[in-house]
């Protein structure tokens, strides 16, 4: 959910006693500057005010993360409660529900009859023959959120599967610090 005041990286000024914190074009936010620290303190008070309201009005809910650099808001664990009431909290401008999705089917190839289509095209996805030469066509999927070791895509590593390589951003080297729990880094 998002609060009324601008995030630290977007604040262009306008509140007496709080100079702008938005960095100049092409520059990074200086999180150690006095202006940034002072404005983050103001956002902290906005967050504390909401947390006090939440404790009084929805004690089963819990703030699990605070954000103030690129978004001024919080993440709330609903613990079985409806998210609709959160919009009534102080300084709340937007509530966006979020869910964790789990795959309900990890092998859809037979469902969409892909093997039959591949056979009609002369392709052999199961390694029982050779794949036709499609003129050096290369397909690239760019997604830093794929965990190549996850069982959901294990078939990609099976013998005879479509050849693939895993590369990471940067100089082509794996850098675990660029990934966040196998999500987008």
Q: What is the mean predicted confidence (pLDDT) over 46-51?
A: 98
What is the pLDDT averaged over residues 43-67? 97
Structural domain boundaries enclosing 151: 102-185
Do 35 and 82 sit in the same domain of this protein? yes
Whether residues 121 and 164 share a domain: the answer is yes
Domain boundary residue, one of 71, 94, 117: 94
Query: Sheet holding 92-94: strands in order across?
Result: 62-67, 73-77, 2-3, 92-94
Q: What is the mean pLDDT of residues 63-87?
A: 95
pLDDT tens digit sequence for 85-106 = 999 999 999 999 887 777 666 6
Of 47, 78, 94, the one marking the end of a domain is 94
Task: With a cut of 60, say whether residue 15 has pLDDT above it.
Answer: yes
Q: Judge if 59 and 113 occupy the same domain.
A: no
- Kindly state whether residues 80 and 115 are assigned to the same domain: no
Sort 60 into a burial class: Cβ within 10 Å, 0-12 / 13-18 / 19+.
Answer: exposed
Q: What percent of the chain has pLDDT over 70?
A: 63
Q: pTM of the full predicted structure?
A: 0.58
The pLDDT of residue 67: 97
Query: Are 51 and 26 found together in one domain?
Result: yes
> Do 114 and 184 have their domain in common?
yes
Number of helices followed by number of strands (H, E) in the chain: 2, 4
144-161: average pLDDT: 66
Indicate if 110 and 185 belong to the same structural domain: yes
User: Could you tell me if 125 and 182 lie in one domain?
Assistant: yes
Phi, psi of 164 (to 5 degrees): -155, 155
In the prediction, which pLDDT does 163 show?
60
- Range in 4-8, 69-73, 171-175 with the lowest mean pLDDT: 171-175
**DSSP structure class, residue 43:** H
Instruction: Based on the fold, state whether residues 84 and 116 are members of the same structural domain.
Output: no
Q: How many domains does the chain have?
A: 2
Residues 60 and 110 in one domain: no
Q: List the end-to-end C-alpha distance of the chain, in Å, as a whole number.
A: 22
- Pick the last residue of a domain from 49, 66, 94: 94
Assess whether 63 and 127 both reside in one domain: no
Backbone angles phi, psi at 77, to 5 degrees: -80, 120
């Amino acid at each position: 959910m998002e609060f009324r005041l601008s995030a630290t990286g977007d604040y262009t000024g306008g509140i007496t006693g709080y100079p702008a914190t938005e960095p100049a074009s092409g520059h990074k936010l200086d999180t150690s500057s006095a202006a940034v620290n002072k404005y983050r303190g103001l956002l902290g008070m906005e967050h504390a005010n909401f947390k006090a309201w939440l404790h009084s009005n929805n004690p089963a809910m819990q703030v699990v993360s605070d954000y103030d650099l690129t978004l001024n808001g919080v993440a709330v664990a609903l613990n079985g409660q409806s998210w609709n009431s959160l919009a009534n909290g102080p300084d709340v401008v937007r509530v966006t529900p979020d869910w964790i999705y789990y795959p309900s089917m990890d092998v859809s190839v037979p469902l969409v009859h892909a093997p039959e289509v591949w056979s009609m095209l002369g392709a052999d996805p199961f390694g029982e023959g050779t794949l036709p030469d499609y003129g050096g066509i290369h397909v690239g999927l760019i997604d830093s959120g794929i965990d190549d070791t996850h069982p959901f895509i294990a078939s990609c590593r099976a013998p005879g599967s479509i050849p693939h390589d895993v590369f990471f951003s940067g100089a082509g080297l794996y850098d675990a610090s660029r990934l966040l729990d196998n999500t987008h880094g």
